[in-house]
């Protein structure tokens, strides 16, 4: 579409690589870039397409592309202003205003487009078999930090996901609608409290799957089970990684969802060794759930010295990752849990995008190194001379 | 020209009210140059967004030339935003595959201005920001400061009555950011454009007429 010969009167136009590709190919390129987590490249490709459309006078198509940009990067101000202008140009002011509907909160926060979605026909089918509950406007369905026992599928209405930050700030994370669901973390981690508050923005209807029923119900519906678990994994990663990546600058936030897709999640069992001192390691691990113990062996007394315990939100593997040396400690699971792994090359990629990421890991590395030395000294001072004697 | 009265911005969470702006009053005359300063999270970007009609206050009003902007219908509001305001963001998306001229004329085309006219306007503005010889250069062939000048020209092509800029020199070295500030000031002098800059830079703030210092949702000094 775009690769036809240019007219003579448009001599100001350049015709470089991306612009020569067809519209279809360019959109595929943008999608691929986005899927690979290259947000800025993908957005740029979309902008290139949209600008091309504007220069050709195809404003309707340009509007569609700006919408795609906002779908991937909700706060792209340029796309917001351009789209608003396009709408206005076409006499659609109200729709433009809707784009600007303020997100409640100190700054305009991200509205992560939910990865989870159940098709509308599925919802219709499930509505016949699942218990339903009518919801009033402003009703709180789940409260952060309190227990939750159900998976909720939205049949009607819009629901707001709000996270209360430790600093007292509240973030609206997303608005969910028909086909979305929430409460899935409870299904993955039955003992964990809710990580966010869910409030009905308008009256609606929810389909309810109780925790006890969940497996039995979904095991006969593998695609649905997969959708729910994939969403639970992603949300768990996003929730856990937030403090690691989010600098407080709201412009970082839309990235989180992309970052979450780069991590691989796996379950571990109690007593499992995730990292063994002296062995090569190529991963950075972030604990999503469960308890682990870090210990190292003392070469003099052949004992495991416990260094520290790790919980959800902590990470390990950074020492060998940063230095390229063998693992400096052993990490053993004390309970079952979930861990997210990031491969070395992905670490490099993330570090390039997030200048704050590496210093953060480095700080922890220094602190832990000091901790290790202190603990070692303490430990040795409580083991009076035995080990040393033995050695002599 | 811009008047804010008892501007409050808060939201509810579980029936608990969290207040970001706690009652902001100020008047900014046409053509005035204002820096909005304050710690991260003090509410200065929220304030800029409300003034730019990108966000609504919980209570209070903002008026431009005596007209309360939030009393406009939605359509009028969009029109007003697109004709009266220019937004300059920290180094935002100049498209590398398009020439400076194309980058600058895009908003004019979006606004519905015909191609020849848009091209002429863009060329004129680029000349004004000292890039008259570089119309066909792509951003990659321009220095960081020159790129920001193109971004500025792109904001100015909408002929805004006020330019709202969030950290416009955040990515630039001291000398280059001085050049950009000079340009902003020049456009203020020439077109009597009101300037409202959110900035962390004391140097930049010192070059404005006034500083609105925001702390904890309130204005500390004016």
Q: Please name which of B52, B49, B47, B48 lies closest in space to residue B21, comparing C-alpha atoms.
A: B47
> How many residues are given for chain B?
222
User: Which residue on chain B is closest to A251 by alpha carbon?
Assistant: B90
Number of other CB atoms surrounding residue A219 within 10 Å: 10
Helix H segments across A101-221? 120-129, 184-188, 211-219
Tokens of B89: 């963001």
d(CA B110, CA B176): 30
What mean pLDDT is predicted for residues A310-339? 83
Q: Containing H/E element for B172?
A: none
From chain B, pick out residues whose CB is under 8 angstroms from the CB of A16.
Answer: 97
d(CA B83, CA B3): 19
CATH class, domain B2-221, is: alpha beta
Query: Quick check: A64 contacting B, CB < 8 Å?
Result: no
From chain B, pick out residues whose CB is under 8 angstroms from the CB of A29.
Answer: none
Which of B95, B107, B132 should we substitute to test contact with A (largest number of A Cβ atoms within 10 Å)? B95
Nearest to B75 among A17, A93, A199 (CB): A93
Helix H segments across chain B? 44-51, 74-84, 100-110, 115-128, 144-156, 174-191, 202-206
User: Phi then psi for B167, rounded to 5 degrees?
Assistant: 50, 60
Write a three-state SS string for B64-129. ECCEEHHHCCHHHHHHHHHHHEEEECCCCCCCCCCCHHHHHHHHHHHCCCCHHHHHHHHHHHHHHC
Task: Convert the pLDDT of each residue in A181-200 to its tens digit.
Answer: 888 888 778 778 888 899 99
CB spacing of A81 vs B78 below 8 angstroms:
no
State the nearest Cα–Cα gap between A70 and chain B, in angstroms.
14
Antiparallel, parallel or unpaired: β A140-142 and B85-88:
unpaired
Q: Please name which of A252, A206, A276, A209 lies closest in space to residue A350, comparing C-alpha atoms.
A: A252
> Would you state the pLDDT for residue B116?
94
Read off the pLDDT band of A89 (50, 70, 90). Answer: low
CB spacing of B13 vs A197 below 8 angstroms:
yes
> Would you state the pLDDT for residue A186?
80
The three-point CA angle A41-A42-A46 to 5° equals 115
Domains, in order of start, for chain A: 17-100 (1.25.40.10), 120-221 (2.60.120.10), 263-381 (2.60.120.10)
Best-predicted range by mean pLDDT among A66-70, A92-96, A221-225, B51-55? A66-70
| pLDDT less than 70: residues of chain B | 11-16, 41, 73-75, 77-79, 87-93, 171, 221-222
d(CA B82, CA A389): 83
> Would you state the pLDDT for residue A328?
79
Q: Are A270 and A334 in contact (CB under 8 A)?
A: yes
Q: Please name which of A241, A368, A378, A363 lies closest in space to residue A308, comparing C-alpha atoms.
A: A368
Please tell me whether the overall predicted TM-score, pTM, comes out greater than 0.80 for this model: no
> Would you state the pLDDT for residue B70?
81
Contacting residues for B105 by C-beta, under 8 A, at least 6 apart = B118, B119, B121, B122, B157
Query: Quick check: A13 contacting B, CB < 8 Å?
Result: yes
> Would you state the pLDDT for residue A17?
53
CA atoms within 13 A on the CB side of A306: 8
d(CA A31, CA A36): 9
CA distances from A380 to A161, A250, A298, A303 (A): 50, 47, 9, 11
d(CA A151, CA B187): 57
Nearest to A47 among B46, B82, B93 (CB): B93
The edge-to-edge listing of strands for the beta sheet with A330-333 is A273-275, A330-333, A292-297, A304-310
> Would you state the pLDDT for residue A238?
76
pLDDT over threshold 70, residue A4: no
| A114-123, A150-159, A176-185, A216-225: range with lowest mean pLDDT | A114-123
What mean pLDDT is predicted for residues A262-276? 85
> Would you state the pLDDT for residue B14?
57
User: Phi then psi for A48, rounded to 5 degrees?
Assistant: -60, -45
CB spacing of B109 vs A57 below 8 angstroms:
yes
Q: Please name which of A255, A173, A102, A82 lies closest in space to residue B92, comparing C-alpha atoms.
A: A82
What mean pLDDT is predicted for residues A26-45? 81
pLDDT over threshold 50, residue A15: no
Antiparallel, parallel or unpaired: β B16-28 and B2-13:
antiparallel
3 state SS of A81: helix
Contacting residues for B22 by C-beta, under 8 A, at least 6 apart = B8, B216, B217, B218
From chain B, pick out residues whose CB is under 8 angstroms from the CB of A140.
Answer: 14
Task: Convert the pLDDT of each residue in A97-152 to its tens digit.
Answer: 444 333 333 223 333 333 345 666 677 778 888 889 999 999 999 998 888 888 99
Nearest to B41 among A77, A102, A248 (CB): A248
Q: Please name which of A355, A315, A346 lies closest in space to residue A331, comparing C-alpha atoms.
A: A315
Tokens of A187: 């299904």
Tell me the residues of chain B between 92 and 131 that have a Cβ less than 8 Å away from chain A: 92-93, 95-99, 101-103, 106-107, 109-112, 115, 119
> Would you state the pLDDT for residue A392?
36
| A44-48, A117-121, A204-208: range with lowest mean pLDDT | A117-121
Tokens of A101: 């509907």
In this predicted complex, what is the ipTM? 0.73
A158 versus A246: the higher-pLDDT residue is: A158
Which of A53, A69, A81 should we substitute to test contact with B (largest number of B Cβ atoms within 10 Å)? A81
Helix H segments across chain A? 17-20, 23-35, 39-56, 59-72, 77-89, 93-100, 120-129, 184-188, 211-219, 222-245, 255-262, 318-323, 344-353, 357-381, 386-391
> Would you state the pLDDT for residue B164?
85
pLDDT over threshold 50, residue A249: no
Query: Quick check: B148 contacting A, CB < 8 Å?
Result: no
Q: What is the C-alpha end-to-end distance of chain B, expressed in Å?
A: 16
Query: Quick check: A102 contacting B, CB < 8 Å?
Result: yes
Q: Containing H/E element for A150?
A: strand A150-156
């Amino acid at each position: 579409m775009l690769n036809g010969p240019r007219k003579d009167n448009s001599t100001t136009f350049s015709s470089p690589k991306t612009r020569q590709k067809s519209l279809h190919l360019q959109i595929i390129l943008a999608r691929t870039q986005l899927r690979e987590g290259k947000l800025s490249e993908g957005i740029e490709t979309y902008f290139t397409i949209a600008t091309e459309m504007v220069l050709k006078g195809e404003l309707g198509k340009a509007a569609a592309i700006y919408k795609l940009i906002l779908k991937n990067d909700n706060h792209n101000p340029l796309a917001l202003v351009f789209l608003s202008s396009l709408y206005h140009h076409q006499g659609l002011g109200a729709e433009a205003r809707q784009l600007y509907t303020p997100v409640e909160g100190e700054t305009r926060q991200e509205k992560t487009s939910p990865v989870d979605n159940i098709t509308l026909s599925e919802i219709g089918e499930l509505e016949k078999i699942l218990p339903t509950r009518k919801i009033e406007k402003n009703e709180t369905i789940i409260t952060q930090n309190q227990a939750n026992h159900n998976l909720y599928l939205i049949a009607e209405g819009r629901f707001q996901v709000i996270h209360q930050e430790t600093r007292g700030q509240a973030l609206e994370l997303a608005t969910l609608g028909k086909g979305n669901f929430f409460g899935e973390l409870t299904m993955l981690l039955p003992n964990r409290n809710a990580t966010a508050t869910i409030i009905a923005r308008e009256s609606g209807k929810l389909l309810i799957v109780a925790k006890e029923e969940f497996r039995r119900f979904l095991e006969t519906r593998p695609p649905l089970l997969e959708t729910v678990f994939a969403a639970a994994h992603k949300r768990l990663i996003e929730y856990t990684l937030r403090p690691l990546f989010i600098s407080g600058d709201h412009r970082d936030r839309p990235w989180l969802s992309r970052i979450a897709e780069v991590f691989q999640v796996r379950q571990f069992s109690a007593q499992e060794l995730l990292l063994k001192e002296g062995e090569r390691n190529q991963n950075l691990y972030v604990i999503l759930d469960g308890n682990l113990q870090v210990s190292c062996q003392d070469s003099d007394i052949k004992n495991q010295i416990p260094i520290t315990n790790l919980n959800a939100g902590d990470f390990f593997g950074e020492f060998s990752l940063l230095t390229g040396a063998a693992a400096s400690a052993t990490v053993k699971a004390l309970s079952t849990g979930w861990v997210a792994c990031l491969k070395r090359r992905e670490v490099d990629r993330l570090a390039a995008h997030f200048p704050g990421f590496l210093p953060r890991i480095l700080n922890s590395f220094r602190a832990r190194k000091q901790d290790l030395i202190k603990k070692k000294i303490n430990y040795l001072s409580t083991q009076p001379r035995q080990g040393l004697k033995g050695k002599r | 020209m811009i008047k804010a009265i008892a501007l409050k911005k808060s939201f509810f969470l579980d029936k608990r009210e969290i207040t970001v702006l706690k009652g902001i009053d100020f008047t900014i005359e046409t053509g005035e140059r204002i820096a909005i300063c304050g710690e991260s999270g003090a509410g200065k970007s929220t304030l800029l967004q409300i003034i730019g009609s990108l966000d609504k206050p919980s209570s209070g009003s903002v008026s431009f030339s005596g007209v309360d902007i939030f009393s406009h219908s939605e359509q009028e509001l969009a029109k007003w935003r697109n004709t009266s305001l220019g937004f300059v963001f920290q180094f935002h998306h100049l498209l590398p595959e398009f020439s400076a001229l194309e980058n600058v004329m895009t908003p004019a085309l979006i606004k519905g201005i015909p191609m020849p006219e848009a091209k002429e306007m863009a060329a004129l503005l680029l000349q004004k920001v000292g890039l008259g010889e570089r119309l066909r250069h792509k951003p990659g062939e321009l220095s960081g400061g020159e790129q920001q000048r193109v971004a500025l020209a792109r904001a100015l092509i909408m002929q805004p009555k006020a330019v709202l800029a969030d950290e416009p020199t955040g990515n630039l070295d001291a000398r280059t950011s001085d050049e950009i500030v000079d340009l902003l000031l020049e456009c203020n002098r020439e077109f009597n454009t009101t300037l409202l800059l959110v900035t962390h830079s004391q140097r930049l703030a010192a070059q404005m007429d006034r500083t609105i210092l925001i702390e904890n949702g309130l204005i500390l000094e004016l």
